[in-house]
Amino acid sequence: MAEAKRKPSENPESNYGVEGFEQIFDGNGITNGDATANGAMFADPYMQQQIEKLFERFGELVSLSVDQRVETAKTASQLIENQRQLIATQQILIRLMERSIELTRHISSIEERLPAVFELPRLVESLRQRVAQLEGVEQQ
């Protein structure tokens, strides 16, 4: 069965912890003596000067903080770009290493055939002599 609708309590402000809230707007909660005493503190020229200096210093600190955040963002951006360049360089290096391995294999195969190439002049000379001998041609 459906639950009956709740009825609001008679004093809803007490549920939210705002007792005395209406007194602020009615003016009953603040006395004029307190406001005058607090205002008198700011009326002192020395205090006013100190407050202005504090606000100036606070403004400088905020500005410095913003500048540092901007510099941090620039540094982070530069770091990201450097990492991209590093990755690209590493990829190029990998390709070069692969090409180097291919060239090394090719050179090794050539070196294996090299002794036979060096023997070619003697082999050609030997064949020339044999052909001449078979044909009966005199050698010079």
| Dist CA 6 CA 12 (whole Å) | 13
The residue extents of the domains of the chain are 44-135
For 16-62, how does the pLDDT look when each residue is reduced to its tens digit (9 = 90+)? 555 655 655 565 544 554 544 455 555 688 999 999 999 999 999 99
For 118-127, how does the pLDDT look when each residue is reduced to its tens digit (9 = 90+)? 888 999 999 9
Contacts (Cβ under 8 Å, ≥6 apart) of 132: 138, 139
From the centroid of its chain, how far is CA 95? 26
19 Rama class: left (phi>0) / alpha (psi -120 to 50) / beta:
beta
| Dist CA 102 CA 98 (whole Å) | 6
Look up the pTM and report it: 0.44
pLDDT of 1 > 50? The answer is no
For 68-126, how does the pLDDT look when each residue is reduced to its tens digit (9 = 90+)? 999 999 999 999 999 999 999 999 999 999 999 999 999 999 999 988 888 889 999 99
